[in-house]
Amino acid sequence: MPTAPHTAVIGLGAMGLPMATRLAAHLPVTAYDIAEDRRALVTKAGGNAATSPAEAARDADIVLLAVRDQAQVDGALFARHGAAESLRPGTTVILTSTVGPDAARTTAARLAEQGVLTVDAPVSGGPVRAGNGDLLIVVGAADKALDLARPVLELLASTLTVVGPRPGDGQSLKAINQLLAGIHIAAAAEALALARGLGLNPATVVETLRHGAAGSFMFADRGPRMVEAYEDGPDPEVKSRLDIFVKDMGIVTGIAKDAHVPVPLAAAAEQLYLLGERAGLAAHDDSSVVTVLFPRGSSPKDPSPEDPSPKDPSPEVLSPKSPSPTNTPSPTHSENNSPEGEAR
């Protein structure tokens, strides 16, 4: 293989486009996306555009997939005009999508029938870091496949961790990454929703807490976007769709169940993203999940002043002439609500 492998990039979404433009500055790149305007951006960056995955992969040494989910992986590879129609034995497919361990292994097995190698290499870091070659990439691959893919991976990653020798190993570690990321975003949303409910300035809360022990990358990154979610005007720029975390937290809870490991915080976060999806936020930025907890247009609830009026006398209060309670059962102490009744 030449030092600069001919690379096909299939999928030019939030992560695929900056990865493609980064690679096009250093390698021969042919890219495909269903959206023509996304293909044009790669051409502007010095790459070439194709009209189908099969055309993009025709002369490729490396095929990098950057699509949303396993259904799109299957379509990009195995559907009519999919890349598998053009893949030659010895070609290496880099799977950067988060699809889960079992899906990665299934894909690798199908490609192996054609003599095609698979590098399971899910990425993390966001679009800006993708364009700067500053991603975290976790890899599951045999040595031969990894050696062939390394020139591409090293252009994209500042941290490249080889988890194990099998496709699916990288997906396992990426799932743990997504567990933490999904919980952190949900926790940030809960904190800022409560801040609004208490009448605090959420921008001040973000700026203050990001410097303290409670701060995190996700709080500092998503917090300002959660503040923007309430501002008038167009919705904030979508940097990471909410329904990505519906998918990813579903992967997390699914593999945790298979492993018989309880993940209660991940399960709670998954439910929050599902609520956001049902509220019509699927295609919005994931930071918009804060509006599920404190809807737009809501106002802080003022504490109710104490009622100064005296409470009505209890019906159990007995006048001096009332029968003794030892002779007349009180209606508030039936068998069903007595301590003995509860014990039954």
Shared domain for 16 and 135, answered yes or no, is yes
Shared domain for 15 and 93, answered yes or no, is yes
Tens of pLDDT, residue by residue over 321-343, are: 444 444 444 443 333 333 333 33
Shared domain for 179 and 107, answered yes or no, is no
Shared domain for 159 and 221, answered yes or no, is no
Tens of pLDDT, residue by residue over 82-119, are: 999 999 999 999 999 999 999 999 999 999 999 999 99
What's the DSSP call for residue 135?
Answer: E
Determine the pLDDT at residue 38: 98
Beta strands 48-49 and 29-32, pairing class: parallel
**48 against 325, higher pLDDT:** 48
Shared domain for 25 and 136, answered yes or no, is yes
Rounded to whole angstroms, the Cα distance separating 90 from 147 reads 12
* Backbone phi, psi, residue 95, to 5°: -100, 105
Rounded to whole angstroms, the Cα distance separating 185 from 187 reads 5
In a domain? residue 332? no
By C-alpha distance, which of 344, 13, 7, 261 is closest to 153?
7
**How far is C-alpha 196 from the geometric centre of its chain's CA atoms?**
24
Shared domain for 256 and 177, answered yes or no, is yes
In a domain? residue 336? no
* 117, 142 contact by CB (below 8 A): yes
In a domain? residue 335? no
Shared domain for 200 and 159, answered yes or no, is no
Shared domain for 119 and 179, answered yes or no, is no
247: left (phi over 0), alpha (psi -120 to 50) or beta: alpha
What CATH number corresponds to the domain at position 266? Answer: 1.10.1040.10
Shared domain for 108 and 138, answered yes or no, is yes
Tens of pLDDT, residue by residue over 150-163, are: 999 999 999 999 99
Shared domain for 29 and 157, answered yes or no, is yes
Average pLDDT value over all residues in the chain: 90
* 256, 178 contact by CB (below 8 A): no
* pTM for this entry: 0.84
By C-alpha distance, which of 16, 24, 114, 100 is closest to 65?
16
Rounded to whole angstroms, the Cα distance separating 310 from 297 reads 36
Q: Would you please indicate which residues are annotated as catalytic (active-site) residues? A: 174
Q: Which domain holds residue 211?
A: 172-293
What CATH number corresponds to the domain at position 79? Answer: 3.40.50.720
* 64, 7 contact by CB (below 8 A): yes
In a domain? residue 317? no
